[in-house]
Amino acid sequence: MSEIRLLSPRLANQIAAGEVVERPASVVKELVENALDAGAERVEVDIEQGGVKLIRVRDTGSGIAESDLPLALSRHATSKIVDLDDLEAVASLGFRGEALASISSVSRLSLTSRTEGNDAAARVEVEGRDMDARISPAAHPVGTTVEVRDLFFNTPARRKFLRTEKTEFGHIEECVRRQALARFETGFTLRHNQRAIQSLRPAMTPLDKERRIGALCGQQFIDNAVVIDAEASGLRLWGWVALPTFSRSQADLQYFFVNHRVIRDRLVAHAVRQAYRDVLYNNRHPAFVLYLELDPANVDVNVHPTKHEVRFRDGRLVHDFIFRTLHRALGEVKPQDHMHGAVAQSLSREAGYSGTPDSQPAPVASAPYGASAGGQAYGGQKPVAWEAQDQMAFYQSLNAGGGTAEAAASPATAVAEAPQSFAQPMPTPPQDSEAEPPLGYAIAQLHGIYILAQTRQGMIVVDMHAAHERITYERMKTALDAQDLKSQPLLVPVTLAVSQREAGVAESHVEELQSLGLQIERMGPETLVVRQIPALLRGADTEQLVRDVVSDLMEHGQSDRVKAVTNELLGTMACHGSVRANRQLTIPEMNTLLRDMEATERSGQCNHGRPTWTLVTMGELDKLFLRGR
């Protein structure tokens, strides 16, 4: 008796369903994608009992001819690809030809459709038990309706793993939200147990698109978002990215689309995280809705059964384009760009709504003002520990404009107090008839910590140390970028035991490593020797730094680890070199700080991601004192 035999069509489809149909939301995803590929201008989704009892998807697409209905439910049957060339440049969402066959094998499915040229519609029905398709005439407008009833009725082992009705519908709602964000030109309706949950009209204008984003992601996201639109090297990135102050406790408001397909990609996630690294508070997550458009031939969407992952032909180019676009956009954000979101948040507080916890930076433990990241208070004191004199000397050399990293080698050049950048006094604030700067004009200093400024909207409160810290940090980065990264030979070379793959990567990326100030040689199959490191990082953990750089090269083909560690050091130096608490500033000095903030990149956050200023509107102040009641 032969031990090898063909699987029955029913069993083969049920095995395929294990990959395609994970839960009711998987069914909705496949059916909505088919509707969008058919050119539907309207998609309606009806759900009952979380999708277990009924999933109905109705569209106004091109429909399916009666003669094609039985074939549509067959495995590996599709109208979207014909040959290998089509597969190498897939422009549609669904193309495997497995969805309907897999869904019908674990449910009771009926499909009713009518094409433009036919006067009558037809319905095909099939059940998982026998998989025999039954065709009958039906009444239906141009388009298609798919009904999926009693999901997993013949596979009870799968059904018992489903969650509660509320949980399953939550996944369906998220699925429809993603498709609605991907296709602005299509209207969507979602109902659960005959109750309308979402009703979205087609959004063709920029204002309509922002309204849809606000309806799906929250108006606060739009109020605190920056519009992105950039093109280069055949790539286009557009969409909305939230300001760093609108951060989240988890990555639940991150949507990235490649040619209208929602994806979750490690390369993309790394590029976005790298762009936000300098301005995001610890353990917080950015929020964004971004769209990447490129030639379909340059991206492979056929790498995962659920099509959530893609592979780019030139991943490094895509990574650099995303990072540089977002980094430049976030760097160009000025206080006036924050103002709209600040007013919206103030109006929310004024209305009695304090805002969601996720829309605010995480609270920090109280500490003496001026405490460093390590908890060392230095308000009114000299910087302490970890070669403070050397670092302050380097800071001095950068501020002087002509020094180099070697200037830090002489502790005698260090000074006790950080230099102040408020050298030029500001004139008296102009009258109301004259133009007013975004942060207004200083009127007082509170407890030697906060600057109070007056604007037409109300009152601006500025954390002077945090603001000056960001200004100093950006100036130090600019000064360092104007110089070459100096390398310093190690007196005793560091030997690392690594894997053969890591050693091979280091050997093949010698030029990239040298551009980072690292001289690394391969001394054996599993041995690396580090001979030079950047002079600025001479006190860093050399072994861990090199291992992290090599790991980045293996994962992404490049590494910004040296720059990250350098910026971390500059940030700490800027923290020590900024104006401290209880330093009494004059009105001209305070106004100079405000003007510097308006001209400095990323001035809305300090080096640690905390906000540097906030707005209290007149309406909010009036409410505190019951004015107008």
Q: Which H/E stretch holds residue 24?
A: helix 24-37
* Domain co-membership, 590 together with 505: no
* Domain co-membership, 558 together with 443: no
How many Å apart are CA 289 and CA 257, to the nearest integer? 8
**Under DSSP, is residue 52 helix (H, G, I), strand (E, B) or coil?**
coil
The structure tokens 């070459």 sit at 484
* Domain co-membership, 324 together with 389: no
Position 200 in a domain: no
Strand 195-200 versus strand 187-192 pairing type: antiparallel
* Domain co-membership, 399 together with 461: yes
Question: Per mean pLDDT, which range of 123-132, 161-170, 608-617 is the poorest?
Answer: 123-132
CATH number at residue 276: 3.30.230.10
- State pTM to two decimals: 0.76
Position 269 in a domain: yes
* Domain co-membership, 56 together with 135: yes
Position 211 in a domain: no
* Domain co-membership, 42 together with 159: yes
The structure tokens 């429809």 sit at 176
Position 209 in a domain: no
Return the DSSP state at 285.
B
How many Å apart are CA 578 and CA 370, to the nearest integer? 9
Position 204 in a domain: no
Q: Dig out the tokens for 283 from the structure.
A: 């353990």
- Answer with the one of 514, 547, 565 that is the final residue of a domain: 565
* Domain co-membership, 40 together with 55: yes
* Domain co-membership, 390 together with 242: no
* Domain co-membership, 33 together with 152: yes
Confidence of residue 231 (pLDDT cuts 50, 70, 90): very high
Provide the edge-to-edge strand list for the sheet that holds 527-534.
Answer: 487-497, 527-534, 519-524
Give percent helix, percent strand, percent coil of the chain, each to the nearest 5: 40, 20, 40
Total domains, the chain? 4
The DSSP secondary structure of 61-128, one letter per residue, reads S----GGGHHHHTSTT--SS--SHHHHTT--SS--SS-HHHHHHTTSEEEEEEE-TT-SSEEEEEEET
Task: Render pLDDT for 482-525 as a digit per residue (tens, 0 to 9).
Answer: 776 678 899 899 999 999 999 999 999 888 888 878 899 999 99
Q: Which of 573, 577, 528, 535 is nearest to 553 (CA)?
A: 528
Position 187 in a domain: yes
More reliable by pLDDT, 568 or 603: 603
Task: Give mean pLDDT, residues 286-311.
Answer: 88
Position 437 in a domain: yes
How many Å apart are CA 558 and CA 319, to the nearest integer? 10
Position 205 in a domain: no
pLDDT (0 to 100) of residue 58: 97
**Start-to-end Cα distance in the chain:** 92
Q: Which H/E stretch holds residue 44?
A: strand 42-48
Question: Per mean pLDDT, which range of 20-24, 111-115, 459-463 is the poorest?
Answer: 20-24
* Domain co-membership, 125 together with 50: yes
Domain that holds residue 324: 218-337
CATH number at residue 533: 3.30.1370.100
* Domain co-membership, 94 together with 15: yes
* Domain co-membership, 175 together with 72: yes
Q: Which of 535, 533, 518, 532 is nearest to 394 (CA)?
A: 535
* Alpha-carbon distances of 311 from 13, 88, 308, 315, 424, rounded to whole Å: 27, 12, 11, 8, 53
Task: Give mean pLDDT, residues 63-83.
Answer: 86
The structure tokens 């310093």 sit at 488
CATH number at residue 592: 3.30.1540.20
Amino acid identity, position 311: R
